[in-house]
Structure 1
């Protein structure tokens, strides 16, 4: 079985036999897979009238458990955006009826963002469609290999997720 990366590796080895291109064997595949997944996810989200960022915010609220509300600060930390960006996103989600703001009883100056019934229905439906699609991608791989791949990818991701510089 060959993929596009095999051709890239062969070409680099022919042109630059003096460098070790083995990192490309893994990371180019991860990069290409990420692009394929991004396109597929955008298609799934579009079917549910969601942008990827809307899915991210709604999913964070849905995963938070009842009453499905978080502070904007907690949402921005979870989605890795600035406070101005989060304010804009919450405004747009509220205008669409997917979330609502309410005063934070623990902080008179603060607000909480709560998932509405419509928002919960939209995120649940999008998640179910996404999982169906992603299951088809993983179907050829036996469960033990999926677990092994998840573990190996975690080894690469953990240091990046915990890196303070955010590079």
Structure 2
């Protein structure tokens, strides 16, 4: 079987400190590296659309919810696990480029909701297909049963770690 960078790290640790329990690195190290490589692939897939990963996250969240009345910026920030200030920066740029609009909150005169424009809908649909293709290309070495097994194992980790 081929070796990877995690194998080399483990070999180095074994030579340096043979008693050190490095077993978790076999999984965690690979998870972290896989995340980094996949993120690079997704960023490359989004480049032709002029979107950052964070901007795509906002647009795809709006698209996924498909709410005609829009979504509150605070709810978007919570979904993206970022501050409301960081979300405001993203929303400002996406609004300037005509991909979304802010509309008054029908229940709170001080608040706003965010919704996709027609142009935003079209762009997110095209970019979503590119991102899913990048995801699929990354997973290509795994068979269907391997993908299902990996998804099940990762779900177990997330269920235990996610808040609420």
- TM-score scaled by length of structure 1: 0.91
Partner of 1:155: 156
1:74: how far off? 0.8
Q: Please give the alpha-carbon distance, in whole angstroms, between the structure 1 residues aligned to 2:85 and 2:6.
A: 39
Structure 2 residue 140 is matched with structure 1 residue 144: no
Report the number of matched residues: 163
- TM-score scaled by length of structure 2: 0.93
Q: Which runs of 5+ in 1 are unaligned?
A: none
1:137: how far off? 2.1
Structure 2 residue 28 is matched with structure 1 residue 27: yes
Q: Please give the alpha-carbon distance, in whole angstroms, between the structure 2 residues aligned to 1:20 and 1:143.
A: 32
Structure 2 residue 89 is matched with structure 1 residue 93: no
Partner of 1:49: 50
Partner of 2:118: 117
Moved over 6 A (4+): none
Partner of 2:8: 7
Per-residue CA shift, 1:101-146, capped at 9, x if unaligned?
Answer: 1101111211110111111111111110111122122223221211
Q: Secondary structure at the match of 1:162?
A: coil
Partner of 1:107: 108
Q: Which runs of 5+ in 2 are unaligned?
A: none
1:92: how far off? 1.2
Q: Please give the alpha-carbon distance, in whole angstroms, between the structure 1 residues aligned to 2:137 and 2:38.
A: 12
